[in-house]
Structure 1
Amino acid sequence: MSRPDQAFYMLRGAASDAGRAYKQELLDLLDIQAGQIALDVGCGPGTDLPALAERVGDSGTVIGVDRDEAMLTRARERTDGLPGVEIRKGDAHDLPIEPGTVDRAKIDRVLMHVAEPSDALAQLHLATRPGARIGLVEPDWDTLIVDAEDLETSRAFTRYTTEEAVRNATIGRSLARLAEQARFRVETVRATAPVFRDFHEADHTLGLGRNMQKAINGGCVDRDRGHRWITSLSEGPFYASFTLVSVICSR
């Protein structure tokens, strides 16, 4: 089963009702002001860069950082013509940012993928100036629930997601602790539970079909049982959810 285009995947996820809601809340809590320097670490295809640019205004600067050249190309296309937007190639573990220059920063569903989340947060602390505000958002995939008559296979799918599919699958519950260890002051911690009632949307966002196939190939789920599980989900009323944790902190 092929892996979906990652830029399309991220853009579609951001455009969903759940995606729009938490992103709007994150930007509101960051309290971005005109003239500030705002940093988006792991900006991907530039999903949030136009909204950041609107908030910092013509006198501000938005810096999008990503290590994937294809993502950077999409981000440049998406922000073409926007004043004050800079797209830089770099890694979360080694940010291409002058120390102590950033007023507002966000890391949105990136720490679950990086090799060392603590090192990435240390880099963010170095890049931000005293008084800066930082927004962190990560899922806790251990809380993923998928309604099915075959509850054991649903649990097996969540275990596979947590143990094999995502590098730092429970990072959401650790965000506040990791932020404090990185010497940020935690101000707000919020948890929401995005709900999916449409199978196809959930399949796209949660990787139900492709990850179940990987679980089957890896011997984690019986082939026939896994295929029956996916078929039943696609045919009947559907429900799935997980916990998404947002942390707002200051430097």
Structure 2
Amino acid sequence: MTKNRNLKRRIRARASKTGESYSSARRHVLPPTGPVSIFEGERPADYLLRAAASAAGQAYKALAIEQLAVQPGDTVLDLGCGTGGELEPLLRSLGPGGSLIGVDTDENALRAARERFADPRLRLLTGDAHALHFGDDAVDRVYVDRTAQHLAAPATALDGLRRILRPGGRVVLAEPDWQTLLVDSPEPELAEAYRRFVIDRLIRNPRIGSELPRLVQDAGLRLDTVIPVTATYTDPVEGDRIFGFARVTRRSVAAGYLDQAQADRWLQHLAGRTFFASLTIFITVARRPSVPLC
């Protein structure tokens, strides 16, 4: 009986918070049953750290940090550092004499990062990517990992990065292009509806991965290279840790991209014996020219 009362309390709390009906909130709170129960119902608090620790995450991040080409004594900015998934490899790249600044808008995420790291070379600051409070020519390197896809005005942020970079300084941005999201399904129209929902409604800048080569040049930076890295997934549980199939599908139903019967078939297939998904992340490397571009 106590368990039922606690469940009803959770359902009412969600309905009050989200404005949903009781029945809709109940569907979200109740754990899924059957094969679909392998998928997470809600985004876990350690989502970013798990993504960073995944094989796909480690592969592209190592390459992106290598492209950053940190030099002894450099000042490095990790813009959108979150809970600190990339702080450890960035600190390793610094050597003893450099300094690392992590900036994020989420104070809770920064608090979690502070609990994980106690290093005199590291400062963690609350800040907005669109209005960075650094002087001109203040940093040598800037690392941006899956942050530009969420920004209200990426072009404004890039203008600010050019300003705070020292001449010859380098910026490395690792961002997905969600147009490249592929998920195998015996009903391709369901996979396309899911992808279309992600592009239309879920990600603020879904095409940012392929837009950045143009945007960095528009900001007065010199484009050095673009490296595509395609992450592939053959385990549905591993894929779900990145894509959140159940919770995103639930939202796509609410938005009218899939009906409930289609969503059930979609998730049943994803949770089945065979699974394949992929997404391409583009590592864009640019630098502030020593002489302004004409």
Shared fold, TM over 0.5: yes
Q: Which residue in the other structure is 1:210 paired with?
A: 247
- Between the two proteins, the alignment pairs up a number of residues equal to 249
Give 2:162's match in structure 1, choosing from 111, 119, 125.
125
CA contact (8 A) 1:108 1:136 kept: yes
2:44 maps to 1:5: yes
In the alignment, structure 1 residue 200 sits paired with structure 2 residue 237: yes
Contact 1:88/1:96 (<8 A) preserved: no
Is 1:45 equivalent to 2:70 in the alignment?
A: no
Q: CA deviation at 1:96?
A: 2.6
Q: Which residue of 2 aligns with 1:228?
A: 265
CA deviations on 1:126-158 (whole Å, 9 max, x unpaired) are 111101011011101111110010110000000
Give 2:43's aligned amino acid.
P
1:222 CA displacement: 1.2
Segments of structure 1 that go 5 or more residues without pairing to the other structure are: none
Amino acid at match of 1:77: E
CA distance in 2, matches of 1:18, 1:105: 22
Q: Say yes or no: does 1:150 pair with 2:150.
A: no
**Paired AA for residue 99 in structure 2:** T
Cα deviation, residue 55, structure 1 = 1.8
TM-score by length of 1: 0.96
Q: CA deviation at 1:3?
A: 3.7
Structure 2 residue aligned with 1:112, among 149, 157, 174? 149
Equivalent AA in structure 1 for residue 112 of structure 2: R
Aligned to 2:215: 178
- 8 Å CA contact 2:43–2:244 kept in 1: the answer is no
The structure whose residues are more often strand, as a share, is 1
Give yes or no for the alignment of 1:189 onto 2:226: yes
What is the aligned-residue RMSD (CA, Å)? 1.1
2:174 to 129, 137, 147: 137
Matched with 2:101 is 63
- For residues 134 and 102 of structure 1, what CA distance do their matches in structure 2 show? 10
Q: Determine the structure 2 residue equivalent to 1:99.
A: 136
Tell me the equivalent position of 2:282. 245
Displacement after TM superposition at 1:203 (Å): 1.2
* Contact preservation (8 Å) 1:142, 1:170: yes
Give ranges in structure 2 of 5+ residues lacking alignment: 1-27, 29-40, 289-294
Structure with the bigger percentage of helix = 2
**TM-score, with normalisation over the residues of structure 2?**
0.82
The CA deviation at 1:204 is 1.8
Distance in 1, matches of 2:153 and 2:87, equals 25
For 1:36, the equivalent position in structure 2 comes to 74
Q: Distance in 1 between matches of 2:73 and 2:235?
A: 41
Does the residue aligned with 1:161 lie in a helix, a strand or coil? helix
Provide the C-alpha distance between the structure 2 equivalents of 1:214 and 1:201, rounded to a whole number of angstroms: 20
